[in-house]
Chains A and B, each alone.
Chain A
Amino acid sequence: MKQSDSDNFETKGQWERTAVYSAWVAGVFSVVVAALLFVNYLQLKVLIPLREERLEAMKLKVADSSADAQLVGQIRQLDLDIRRDRIRGQGFSHRGSYLLLGGFIVLIAGAKLVSYLRKQLPHPEGQREGRAEQMQEANAGRWAITAGLIVVGAGALIFALMPTTDYGGSEVSSYPSAEDIAANWARFRGPGGLGISAYTNVPEKFDVEGGEGIVWKTAIPLAGFNSPIVWGERVFISGGDEKALQVYCYDAANGKLLWTGDVPRQGEEKVNPMEDTGFAAPTMVTDGRRVYAIFATGDIGCFDFTGKRLWAMNLGVPDNAYGHASSLAMYRNLVLVQLDQGQAEDEKSRLIALEGFSGGTVWEVKRRVSGSWTSPIVIETEKGPQIITCADPCMIAYKATNGAELWRADCLGPDVAPSAVYGNGLVYAIHPYTKLVAYRADGTGDVTETHIAWTADEGISDICSPLTNGKVVLVLTTDGLLTCYDAKDGKKLWDKELEEEFFASPSFVGEKVYLLSGKGVLIVADISGGYKDVARSELGEKCFASPGFADGRIYIRGEKNLYRIGNRAGE
């Protein structure tokens, strides 16, 4: 029996020694691995970020002096080194973690075994758990619970003091409602880009010399061919030259220039747009809270209604023979930029959707089209909202939410300037000097042959966009020929020689069409039963921009002045 106890004791001793040694070996191993991992961690968290800062500094430097090939080489090498070291570091961290885990397991097993083998037998002493002791413990328990409750309650009250947000302006919208858009003139050619006034109480005649119908006239600081846009009591236009790119906000009530916003030129590339296009041909767009403007330099800026610049960026100087002229459009909170340039095979053209508040790119699609001067329109169809674009050689429709191409029609040719219009399920586009085409907007893929409704080839314009009220389509050539087609089948109804030169696109006010000539003559005609002159008024200065319409008013941008036509308040 004694021999057996002795053997047991010996065996236990051997186990204990084995456990201790194993634990120590595992412990030392783990410490070494852990130390290496810690060094690796420091490298990943401290040293590499320092090198990344150096890399960023070098990148900024290269932006200033793009010709420094040696610096570019150093940047590439450093970038490669950093990435390689990071990947190595992460691999080491991953493998080391498993090694450490293994070391830990052996260490814990050894420690547990030692703990088990050295367990002491209990030696209970004295009397315990007397009533007094139990009462004392219960008393302490109550106090402890009370203390715990106070701690938790105090914690809650401290958190209660932290500020929270009261969404007082919870009616804030990401984008304007359809009603607001319809009530304002927020983009080139107003709601939907259709050139149709929501108001029929618009004046038909004015007299600049006599002052009749001229509410105010105010000078425009810098030139531009863009049209006025209107939101509530604010009127916006832009202007620019090689030195400055500016946005102007006017008080609709009195024509006072409320603020001027500067869009900074970014990039050193020289820009030489044609004189007929200038730096500020694209019309601005607004969502009722912010206004957006793009220029021939590719610079785009965003301002709030107080004139605070929210963001600005450069999309690259558009490679456009005449200068960039495509106006901005909006779909909900997305600012749509049709940046057509170069030749189709260059694949430089893009349609970009920028998030209005931040200017971040939400989506961008490449367009295999040549440079154009058209503006995109957004239409609502049964299949959802579509963005319609025109350029050489295609009219292309995109899904407004993500920019996916929906359909295309190979129907256009070089130098497209007129924008498309939409009515009665048909999209009308112009191949300059050649044809007016009408396509159904419910197709997918190539609809060139499958969804064409009709074509017409008489009196086709080259600059002015067409106009439709769903019943007729009007086309106005630069040299003043106004042609009217049946919107349904394209049958020519009549034409009229206006004996004026036109650059501004025509607009509908009820059954009357408003035509603003290059010399500044506003022609109002009733076309309900063929063409009939209603009134002609002379502005007295050249006009290239399409007018903007509001409740009882017309805003006209002359070469040098901005006009509000209408009755004075109270009259």
Chain B
Amino acid sequence: MIRKSLILSILLLAVPYAAAFGAERFPPPEFESGYELPSPTTPSPRVDVFEYIDAVVLFAALSVGTYLVLKKRSRRWIFALMVFSLVYFGFYRKGCVCPIGAIQNAAMTVFDKSYAMPVVVLAFLILPFVFTLFFGRVFCAAVCPLGAIQDLFVLKPIAIPRWLDSSLRLFAYLYLGLGILFAATGSAFVICRYDPFVGFFRVTGSFNMIVAGICLLVIGIFIGRPYCRFLCPYSVILRQFSRISRWRVTITPDDCIQCRLCEDACPFGAIRSPAAKWRGEDYSVGKKRLALLLVLLGVLVVFGGWVASRASGWMARVDWRVRLADRVYLEETGKVSDTTDASAAFRATGEEIKELYAEASDIEAKMATGSWILGGFMGLVAGLKLVGHSVRRTRTDYEADRASCFACGRCFTYCPREHARLDKLKNKEEGK
């Protein structure tokens, strides 16, 4: 009852909280007294050394996280590190630089020769990759501030079916694809622009994004880490690295005794139960289905590319230059009679309209090519997921799914073998 009341009070606070952050600025007065507005000054950039300190802190946090997840196996300490990361990378560093957004920097570096990715941003992108490749998703466990803030809200988790979990994850792939496409074309850093939690870290932000963040946190009370599972583009990459990681989280420190106590321990639905053997007739049908799906894979890639390419015109409108060209075109053809701030500013530069049109057309062409790739990628992902749901798996123990496990350590304490290990350790220490 009390827990329900608390959850209710959090829900009640949601909208006013958005209102608190959503207050906007207002224009300067029109002075008639001859007073001249002072020129705006740009604050000095943060001293470079602090950026390197951030990278060092990231490395240290990943190292400590790895130790806590794999060696110490302590949820309590993982939680403590998670809170530290939330405070440092979230509230202190205001959620920037973050590895999630760094994907876009990397994409832009590859496709835009005039852009060079800062070393620190590269470090933020690469370090979690390397750690995941060797130790699983320790970054998600205790270092990512976006994961941390959601983790705090996991109060009344409910299990969602795997089929739903799997299909919803398509949106994360789509978000990743769009993020890279828009960054590669120099259109926008949508992953940063639509970061739902950065408004909390900065105690300011657009009303819409604050509301979006609140919605995700409220959903997160019942569905653990919804952003990480169904939207986070970085998570998509980490999942793949985690599949092949050298070491990883195990529920039991040694042998699984099939006690099933850990079955519902994971609020993120990452624990897989042992898989029974296929029956003969199932195997035969499954083989045919698999063959069909493998053939379908190519079709899905082409069809996805075609569908996405149809929407490339709309996607190009994410780019401000294309929107500006549209607006100027409307003005030039007399379809609108006024100018916007953006079009008036463009005209004040004296730049050529035809060059703007050419630039917009160039972006549209790039977007058309990119959307073919994006659509093909989405078709491939969906196809592989269909294949993934159709292959025979053998599993004898309860295991944390390599890709889905956030390495949060919640399952450790459900395992009797873990308690035995801890007792053994305690006795050993007492014996000393």
Which residues of chain A have a CB within 8 Å of any CB of chain B?
A: 20, 23-24, 27, 30-31, 34-35, 37-38, 40-42, 44, 79, 83, 86, 89-90, 93-94, 96-98, 100-101, 104, 107-108, 110-112, 114-115, 118, 121-122, 124, 128-131, 134-135, 137-149, 152-153, 156-157, 159-160, 162, 164-165, 167, 169-175, 304, 308, 332-334, 355-358, 360, 362, 401
Tell me if B10 is interfacial: C-beta within 8 Å of chain A.
yes
Determine which of A94, A100, A112 lies in contact with B152 in the assembled complex, contact meaning CB atoms within 8 Å: A112
Chain A positions within 8 Å of B3 at CB level: 111, 114-115, 118
Beyond A104-B13, A164-B314, whether A153 also contacts B167 by CB under 8 A is no
Identify the B interface with A (CB < 8 A).
2-3, 5-7, 9-10, 12-13, 15-17, 19-26, 29, 152-153, 155-156, 161-164, 166-168, 170-171, 174, 200, 203-204, 259-265, 273-279, 282, 300, 303-304, 307-308, 310-311, 313-317, 325-326, 329-334, 338-339, 343-344, 347-348, 350-354, 357-358, 360-361, 364, 375, 378-379, 382, 385-386, 389-390, 414
B261 (CB) vs chain A CBs: closest residue: A122
14 A-B contacts, Cβ less than 8 Å apart?
Answer: A30-B9, A115-B155, A118-B3, A124-B259, A138-B389, A139-B389, A141-B162, A145-B385, A159-B314, A173-B353, A173-B354, A332-B350, A360-B339, A362-B350
- A93 and B361 within 8 A (CB): no
Contact check, B326 vs A165: say whether CB atoms are below 8 A apart.
Answer: yes
CB distance from A88 to the nearest CB of B (A): 11
The answer on a CB contact under 8 Å between B329 and A86 is no
Q: A162-B314, A170-B357, A358-B344 are in contact. Are A148 and B20 (CB under 8 A)?
A: no
Residues of A within 8 A of B315 (CB): 159
| Contact A37 to B20, CB < 8 A, known contacts A128-B273, A157-B311 | yes
Output the least CB separation between B5 and chain A (Å).
Answer: 8
Residue of A nearest to B388 (CB): A141
Contacts of B25 in A (CB 8 A): 90
The 4 closest A-B pairs by CB, nearest first: A34-B16, A160-B310, A41-B19, A164-B313
How far apart are A171's CB and chain B's nearest CB, in angstroms? 6
Contact present for A97 and B203 (CB under 8 Å)? yes
Q: What residues of chain A lie closer than 8 Å to B161, measured between beta carbons?
A: 137, 140
User: Is the Cβ of B13 less than 8 Å from the Cβ of A165?
Assistant: no
Min CB–CB distance B372 → chain A (angstroms) = 12
Contact A156 B375 (CB under 8 A): yes
Contacts of A173 in B (CB 8 A): 352-354
Known contacts A129-B273, A358-B347: does B361 contact A170 (CB below 8 Å)?
yes
> Considering the chains assembled together, what is the distance between the CA atoms of A187 and B161 in angstroms?
75
* Residue pair A97, B13 in contact (C-beta under 8 Å): no
A184 to B164, alpha carbons, bound, how many Å? 70
User: Shortest CB–CB separation between residue B324 and chain A, in angstroms?
Assistant: 11
Q: Which residue of A lies closest to B350 (CB)?
A: A332
Q: A141 with B167: in contact, given A31-B12, A111-B3, A332-B350 (CB under 8 Å)?
A: yes
Instruction: Verify A165–B325 contact, CB threshold 8 A.
Output: yes
Judge whether A174 and B351 touch: CB under 8 Å.
yes
A333 to B421, alpha carbons, bound, how many Å? 79
Q: Are B325 and A167 in contact (CB under 8 A)?
A: yes
A157 to B303: give the CA distance in the assembly, Å. 12
A98 touches B325 (CB 8 A): no
Q: Which residues of B contact A139 (CB under 8 A)?
A: 389
Q: How far is the CA of A98 from the CA of B358 in the complex (A)?
A: 47
Most buried by A among B21, B152, B167: B167
- Is A156 within 8 A of B23, CB to CB? no
| CB contact between B357 and one of A112, A160, A167 (< 8 Å): that residue | A167
By a CB distance below 8 angstroms, the chain A residues around B338 are 358
Chain A nearest CB from B194 CB (Å) reads: 16
* A27 neighbours in B (Cβ, 8 Å): 6, 9-10, 13
CB distance from A517 to the nearest CB of B (A): 40
- Could you tell me if B332 and A169 are in contact, using CB atoms closer than 8 angstroms? yes
Q: Which residues of B contact A174 (CB under 8 A)?
A: 347, 350-354
Chain B residues with CB below 8 A from A357, complex form: 331-332, 339, 347
Bound state CA distance, A392 and B203, in angstroms? 57
Shortest A362–chain B CB gap in Å is 4
Closest A residue by C-beta to B347: A355
CB neighbours of B260 from chain A (8 A)? 122, 124, 128
**Contacts A104-B17, A308-B334 given; 9 further ones with Cβ under 8 A?**
A42-B19, A108-B152, A118-B3, A122-B262, A172-B353, A172-B357, A356-B347, A358-B338, A358-B347
Complex Cα gap A169–B325 (Å): 12
In the bound complex, do residue B167 and residue A148 qualify as a contact, i.e. CB atoms below 8 Å apart? yes
Quick one: closest A residue to B382, CB to CB? A149
Which residues of B lie under 8 Å from residue A143 when comparing CB positions?
Answer: 163
Task: Give the complex CA separation of A104 and B259 in angstroms.
Answer: 38
Given that A167-B361, A357-B339 are known contacts, is A144 also in contact with B166, CB under 8 Å in the complex? yes
How many angstroms between the C-alpha atoms of A163 and B165 in the bound complex?
34
Residues of A within 8 A of B304 (CB): 149, 153
State whether A360 touches B163 (Cβ < 8 A): no
Contacts of B364 in A (CB 8 A): 164
Q: Does A175 lie within 8 Å of B9, measured CB to CB?
A: no
How many Å from the CB of B303 to the closest CB on chain A? 8
**From B15, B29, B264, B300, contact of A83 by CB (8 A):** B29
> Which residues does chain B contribute within 8 Å of A140, judged by CB atoms?
161, 163
Q: Name A100's contact: one of B17, B164, B265 (CB within 8 Å).
A: B17
Q: List residues of chain A with CB within 8 A of the CB of B153.
A: 108
Q: Is the CB of A152 within 8 A of B378?
A: yes
Within 8 Å CB of B200, what residues of A? Answer: 101
Report whether B350 and A333 are in contact in the complex, using a CB–CB cutoff of 8 Å: yes
Task: Verify A128–B203 contact, CB threshold 8 A.
Answer: no
Flag if A38 contacts B261 (CB, 8 Å). Answer: no
CA distance A173 to B351 in the complex (A): 9
Which residue from B155, B333, B351 sits with its C-beta under 8 Å from A169?
Answer: B333
B414–A145 touching, CB < 8 Å: no
B293 to chain A, nearest CB (A): 8
A38 and B386 contacting across the interface, CB-CB below 8 Å: no
Q: With a CB–CB cut-off of 8 A, which chain B residues contact A94?
A: 23, 203-204
* Distance of B24 from chain A, by nearest CB (Å): 8
Given the interface pairs A129-B276, A167-B360, A174-B347, the reply to whether A160 lies near B314 with Cβ below 8 Å is yes
Q: Across the interface, name the chain A residue whose C-beta is closest to B323.
A: A165
Q: Are A131 and B167 in contact (CB under 8 A)?
A: no
